[in-house]
């Protein structure tokens, strides 16, 4: 495991980070010449891209939410759907991407709507498996809001299935995580799933 000081964080300069050296070595192992014109800056570019794609490691849910929690006597379902997400499979380090649908039933506290996509990114911008990502988002919302219930559905396509292995281009993976009323009350769960998958009208 890397020493914490060697981790690629947003504060690092990709030019002189050990990750860029690793990319140069990778290019050589692939049979490429890292000194040819087209690849001269590739190690730095890859290090910079990975810095961005894995920035979730340096973020916390508390930081991205900040002060955007509000007391509100609202006890009907709040749903934000079609939240774009991009992540990387931890098994092959290839991208997977899709949409998250999030709903919760407040219990005296609501959160600024823009914070839900930010919570998604905290966990998506790490090496992930979709199943764990779904559970982490649901658990984070439960921990912060203590709602009556929370539901998360993620629909995604995985390049590790499309570009290699079984090479199936049209497969989609759907995962869900439910807490509170979304688990115990069938009607609440059905309403959430119906709204999450309803056709877009605008």
| Residues catalogued as catalytic | 89-92, 130, 158, 160
Answer positive or negative: Cα dihedral of 104, 110, 111, 114. positive
Dist CA 60 CA 143 (whole Å) = 13
Dist CA 14 CA 192 (whole Å) = 43
Parallel/antiparallel/unpaired status of strands 95-105 and 127-128: unpaired
Instruction: Report helix, strand and coil shares of the chain as percent, to nearest 5.
Output: 45, 25, 35
Which residues are CB-neighbours of 89 under 8 A, at least 6 positions away? 95, 96, 127, 128, 129, 158, 159, 160
CB–CB of 170/111 below 8 Å?
Answer: no
Dist CA 101 CA 107 (whole Å) = 20
Three-class DSSP category at 77: coil
Dist CA 81 CA 169 (whole Å) = 24
């Amino acid at each position: 495991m890397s020493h914490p000081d060697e981790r690629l964080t947003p504060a690092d300069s990709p030019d002189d980070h050990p990750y860029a050296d690793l990319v140069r070595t990778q290019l050589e192992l692939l049979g490429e010449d890292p000194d040819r014109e087209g690849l001269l800056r590739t190690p730095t570019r890859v290090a910079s891209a990975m810095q961005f794609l894995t920035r979730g490691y340096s973020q916390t849910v508390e930081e991205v939410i900040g002060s955007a929690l509000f007391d509100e006597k609202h006890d009907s379902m709040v749903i934000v759907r079609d939240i774009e997400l991009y992540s990387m499979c931890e098994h092959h380090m290839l991208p997977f991407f899709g949409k998250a649908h999030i709903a919760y039933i407040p219990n005296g506290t609501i959160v600024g709507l823009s914070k839900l996509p930010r919570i998604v990114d905290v966990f998506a911008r790490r090496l992930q498996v979709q199943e764990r990502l779904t559970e982490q988002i649901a658990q984070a919302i439960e921990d912060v809001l203590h709602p009556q219930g929370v539901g998360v559905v993620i629909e995604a396509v995985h390049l590790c299935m499309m570009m290699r292995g079984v090479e199936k281009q049209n497969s989609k993976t759907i995962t869900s995580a439910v807490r509170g009323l979304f688990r115990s009350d069938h009607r609440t769960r059905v309403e959430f799933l119906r709204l999450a998958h309803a056709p877009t009208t605008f």
